[in-house]
A and B are shown apart, each in its own frame.
Chain A
């Protein structure tokens, strides 16, 4: 049952939170077995190096990869501890003069009580002694972001009108940079000039600057409720909450309207742009529908975390008239999804994608490949990591207005083949 293991857990969430800081280094105090995959993932999701030649990263601790050096703990270290190696790696990393250093224990290192007693005089250091055992990626990610915020020692600042923070995006989110650009564009149309993306590609100075934003805007609730609370309690920054990610015309309009209502901003231009895309979509769908009857009644399955699965289901079911057959909620609160499904008489859905043939599956690339190989679908749209594409030259936002158009375009073209 592959979908059981599609979602990373808290360890990867924590690592991706720390790796989300630009010009930073994240040290893993643990074995190479815990390093290779996250380091490869971080490098591909947030590209910072041109060369793929492992010989250019042959120095101790890096093992041919540019990201996440580690202390390569072995059985001896589990008995004696790896403090000496940790100090050596920390000094080596410090010499590279990053803006920020994160240090995370692997599950095993955490279990033997490794203390992470390393510090720098002039570089902020976030330490995570427990990576969390089998907690969700979103929990680990939020603990990681909170560790960053604590390490940066943020203090309350005067609010800047028109400056907002976007919360809940991580470098693990498929197409995060493109989604961010799309959402920033919409907010720009609303007159909100500066948007700091908390946890996804932010710089050390942006982390400090985030304390002076006038509003925290939730992009992906599953990944930020604790962070919102921290900003409110520690720095007095309020937040505007949304159950679902801004994906699909309805969810997107709610998102824009909700933010503008909080800040007394003008949603008109952004709404106008969304409306023009609605018109474009209408034209295409009505022509397709007139010729073929599509997409009404076609089936789909979804596997994603709750706050992303919900708007996908809404967009395909309510907007396109398609029928969900299987819904796998990998993490987060599935209450709003169940509520939506039962409101529409969609009960008894399978929660295992591997049992249900569908016209299109919306999931991660590995699940889609398995479904296709098994003959359960001919079409798939990747909405969470790992994606289906190895190379990406065109912007491919998963969220936002262009994310909505990508969703509709790919679904409709799959069905119309």
Chain B
């Protein structure tokens, strides 16, 4: 038998696999107890939906399952100690949990649970040994998660001598061989009391080349311990049976490992039935590899939907795709079925097409988007999709791609494709290529906005260069919205104002940017937020914490007053207040001139505002400047990505905030007030002659942005209040 010594850094992670009901939890718990009695710091993680793996270690009170916790606790409130209990002799206990039998996907549950534990920093704890107690067979990618390199370094197979149990054991060996065949610790024989089973297990052991490292006899003492809610090792520490687990503990600590071979079904039957026609086991190859590094908790930057546990609007996959597709020189691979690629591509490109055909503006990278789909098919869903991904990456590299982002869809996440590992392997083979994994798993990481945030941060973590010479005149614009139809106009307006102060835009972060701009982010000593919505604020939080960015204290604001404020603030921060007076004089003059031209048309007109956007101080400012008669300003507070931040309005005396919206009541109230102008987010059919105008969700920026809109009102007032077509609603 092959015998491979473990090259451990002192920390061990082992997984116990076996057929359902074979006694893995009992063996795991007793092993944990035996190890803790030797002074080992042990963490046991139960990976079974019935979440009773650690019951005997915690006197029958295992901790809340990770999946229940994930479901009911907002991201910012999550803490590792909430899901990690303390049991016998101070061992730590975690239960992954899972769905009711016959519904959902337990495998996906394990993936989610492991992701959360990693996010909460479980790898940073000082455990000598982690034991994964895994349900049943390696039936899908989810159940294979503990087999991955970053988890279990050694796998023990628990089996009885029954055929189905050995069948499952053989499948487990096959599953291990798919990852790293040299990680088998041995077979743990849990006897059912059948007279011939020991021989069957021994024959199987010989045939697959894996030794039996412990034989646990059948005994009523196990039942007695279970009734007490404790392990046998705790109940009878000196007993004969406890010595079996102490022996197993010694074996685990020895770090001995063996190479996994597995048998064909025909050979397995021969072996188990005792017919001596054992053929050569299916060989596996490659050198063993083991490299664990303690990992720190990963900082998570979340969208509002994710943070507040709201219904998810759109998916993170498409949000990440929209950002990646807007970056020039970046190859984007969408790992999923074609429908996911199509939806993400159309969502982004339809808006871009419209803005190009209407206004002639274009996000340059959409011109010839370098985006590919792995076109996952049924076979990928069954056998995994990493080879399709690898093929696509190789194809892109052969065609000249040197910067590749991979975004994962729901199916890729559900089947548990190890995309990060695959990209790491590709990276070793292609050191001149930058690989950027964006593991969104469709909407499993969150909504569209979460994907946008993740992509911005993911790209930055991989691309932003640390040693870049600063240019004092350079400013980054942070929080670009590349699929908004006024994206270009807003960048241009802000760039013009900045240039009046003698500054230049360094990086448009991230939208319509080049990779070079992102790499050189640190060239600008100062960054400017393009809005104060959650998206922009989260990016700011990340850039300050992880990239050491300095921000101008005020974000870009729409309207004249807002523009004056953020420009002044920027000048002070950049130490160029001497250039401010000229700039202010110029923009005030431009504003005033156009305002005065509008007043004869709008002054004294009655206005009613119905907005779904909360940040409308700029609109109220404009209405005041125009000296219109403001009847009501009503704002519906929506919980979605377009209204995902808490604005402190200065015009709280004028604006009325409402949490629900009754269309009939609103119409009735508008009729009652009978305004001359109705400014509303969505135009509606009213049986009244009222001029209706749209309040944009993403307002035009700059000191003239709001005035552009008012000029449209003034012009439209020369049109009939009720157009002829409205009379044809039959």
Q: Does B529 contact A (CB under 8 A)?
A: no
Q: Does A403 contact B (CB under 8 A)?
A: no
User: CA of A379 to CA of B367 in the docked complex: distance in angstroms?
Assistant: 16
Question: Assuming the A-B contacts A79-B112, A366-B349, are A9 and B339 also in contact, with contact meaning beta carbons closer than 8 angstroms in the complex?
Answer: yes
Q: Do the beta carbons of A31 and B347 come within 8 Å of each other?
A: no
Residues on B with beta carbons closer than 8 Å to the beta carbon of A134: 337-339, 373, 375-377
User: CA of A24 to CA of B529 in the docked complex: distance in angstroms?
Assistant: 46
Most buried by B among A34, A63, A133, A370: A133
Q: Does A386 contact B (CB under 8 A)?
A: yes
Q: Does A394 contact B (CB under 8 A)?
A: no
Q: Min CB distance, A134 to chain B, in Å? A: 4
Q: Do the beta carbons of B347 and A37 come within 8 Å of each other?
A: yes
Residues on B with beta carbons closer than 8 Å to the beta carbon of A55: 636, 661, 663, 682
Q: Does B100 contact A (CB under 8 A)?
A: yes
Give which listed residue, A4, A38, A111, A388, contacts B357 with CB less than 8 A: A388
Q: Min CB distance, B594 to chain A, in Å? A: 30
* Interface bits B352-379 vs A (CB < 8 Å: 1, else 0): 1110110000100011111111011110
Give which listed residue, A33, A107, A112, A135, contacts B314 with CB less than 8 A: A33
Residues on A with beta carbons closer than 8 Å to the beta carbon of B99: 79-81
Q: Min CB distance, A311 to chain B, in Å? A: 25
> Which stretch, A69-77, A175-183, A202-210, A316-324, touches the partner chain B?
A69-77
> Which stretch, B180-188, B440-448, B454-462, touches the partner chain A?
B440-448
Question: Assuming the A-B contacts A2-B349, A33-B448, A51-B685, are A133 and B411 also in contact, with contact meaning beta carbons closer than 8 angstroms in the complex?
Answer: yes
Give which listed residue, B71, B380, B444, contacts A133 with CB less than 8 A: B380
Residues on B with beta carbons closer than 8 Å to the beta carbon of A11: 337, 339
Residue in chain A with minimal CB distance to B358: A390
Residue in chain B with minimal CB distance to A106: B410
* Interface bits B48-74 vs A (CB < 8 Å: 1, else 0): 000000000000000000010011000
Question: Assuming the A-B contacts A77-B104, A80-B99, A107-B337, are A2 and B345 also in contact, with contact meaning beta carbons closer than 8 angstroms in the complex?
Answer: yes
**Dominant SS at the A interface?**
helix
Q: Does B109 contact A (CB under 8 A)?
A: yes
Residues on A with beta carbons closer than 8 Å to the beta carbon of B106: 79
Residues on A with beta carbons closer than 8 Å to the beta carbon of B366: 2, 370
Q: Does B568 contact A (CB under 8 A)?
A: no
Question: Assuming the A-B contacts A12-B342, A111-B381, A388-B357, are A133 and B682 also in contact, with contact meaning beta carbons closer than 8 angstroms in the complex?
Answer: no
Q: Min CB distance, A93 to chain B, in Å? A: 18
Give which listed residue, B103, B413, B682, B685, contacts A54 with CB less than 8 A: B682
User: CA of A107 to CA of B315 in the docked complex: distance in angstroms?
Assistant: 13
Q: Do the beta carbons of B442 and A33 come within 8 Å of each other?
A: yes
Most buried by A among B70, B314, B376: B314
Question: Assuming the A-B contacts A37-B347, A79-B99, are A53 and B683 also in contact, with contact meaning beta carbons closer than 8 angstroms in the complex?
Answer: yes
Q: Does B415 contact A (CB under 8 A)?
A: yes
User: CA of A414 to CA of B317 in the docked complex: distance in angstroms?
Assistant: 39
Q: Does A36 contact B (CB under 8 A)?
A: yes
Q: Do the beta carbons of A37 and B443 come within 8 Å of each other?
A: no
User: CA of A73 to CA of B443 in the docked complex: distance in angstroms?
Assistant: 9
Residues on A with beta carbons closer than 8 Å to the beta carbon of B336: 107
Q: Do the beta carbons of A72 and B312 come within 8 Å of each other?
A: yes
User: CA of A37 to CA of B366 in the docked complex: distance in angstroms?
Assistant: 19
Q: Does B262 contact A (CB under 8 A)?
A: no
Q: Do the beta carbons of B103 and A83 come within 8 Å of each other?
A: yes
Q: Does B311 contact A (CB under 8 A)?
A: yes
Q: Do the beta carbons of B103 and A2 come within 8 Å of each other?
A: no
Q: Min CB distance, A162 to chain B, in Å? A: 34
Give which listed residue, B108, B350, B367, B380, contacts A374 with CB less than 8 A: B367
Residues on A with beta carbons closer than 8 Å to the beta carbon of B340: 107
User: CA of A7 to CA of B338 in the docked complex: distance in angstroms?
Assistant: 9
Q: Min CB distance, A187 to chain B, in Å? A: 31
Q: Do the beta carbons of A8 and B339 come within 8 Å of each other?
A: yes
Q: Do the beta carbons of B104 and A72 come within 8 Å of each other?
A: no
Q: Min CB distance, B441 to chain A, in Å? A: 8
User: CA of A372 to CA of B360 in the docked complex: distance in angstroms?
Assistant: 10
The number of chain B residues touching the other chain, given as a range, is: 35 or more
- Interface positions, chain B 84-111, Cβ under 8 Å from A, are 98-100, 103-106, 108-109
Q: Does B414 contact A (CB under 8 A)?
A: yes
Residues on A with beta carbons closer than 8 Å to the beta carbon of B410: 31, 78, 106-108, 111
Residues on B with beta carbons closer than 8 Å to the beta carbon of A50: 685, 729
Question: Assuming the A-B contacts A34-B339, A133-B381, A366-B349, are A74 and B368 also in contact, with contact meaning beta carbons closer than 8 angstroms in the complex?
Answer: no
Q: Do the beta carbons of B443 and A33 come within 8 Å of each other?
A: yes
Give which listed residue, B313, B342, B357, B636, contacts A5 with CB less than 8 A: B342
Q: Do the beta carbons of B317 and A369 come within 8 Å of each other?
A: no
Q: Does A199 contact B (CB under 8 A)?
A: no
User: CA of A365 to CA of B349 in the docked complex: distance in angstroms?
Assistant: 10
Q: Min CB distance, A82 to chain B, in Å? A: 8
Q: Does A52 contact B (CB under 8 A)?
A: yes
Q: Do the beta carbons of A79 and B109 come within 8 Å of each other?
A: yes
Give which listed residue, A12, A37, A80, A388, contacts B104 with CB less than 8 A: A80
Q: Min CB distance, A225 to chain B, in Å? A: 21
User: CA of A80 to CA of B347 in the docked complex: distance in angstroms?
Assistant: 29
Residue in chain B with minimal CB distance to A365: B353
Q: Do the beta carbons of A366 and B350 come within 8 Å of each other?
A: yes
User: CA of A33 to CA of B336 in the docked complex: distance in angstroms?
Assistant: 14
Residues on B with beta carbons closer than 8 Å to the beta carbon of A73: 443
User: CA of A338 to CA of B349 in the docked complex: distance in angstroms?
Assistant: 30
- Interface positions, chain A 28-62, Cβ under 8 Å from B, are 31-34, 36-38, 50-56, 58
Residues on B with beta carbons closer than 8 Å to the beta carbon of A386: 346, 350, 353
Q: Does A354 contact B (CB under 8 A)?
A: yes
Beyond A79-B67, A80-B99, 10 additional contacts (C-beta under 8 Å) are A5-B373, A53-B663, A74-B311, A74-B312, A78-B108, A79-B98, A111-B411, A111-B415, A112-B414, A133-B381
Q: B-contacting residues of A (Cβ < 8 Å)?
A: 1-2, 4-5, 7-12, 31-34, 36-38, 50-56, 58, 63, 72-81, 83, 106-108, 111-113, 131, 133-135, 354, 365-366, 369-370, 372-374, 386, 388, 390
* Nearest 8 pairs of A and B residues by beta carbon: A33-B315, A108-B410, A81-B103, A112-B105, A81-B104, A11-B339, A9-B338, A5-B345
- Between-chain CB contacts (< 8 Å), 10 pairs: A5-B371, A8-B339, A12-B339, A74-B443, A74-B444, A78-B413, A79-B106, A81-B105, A107-B339, A107-B411
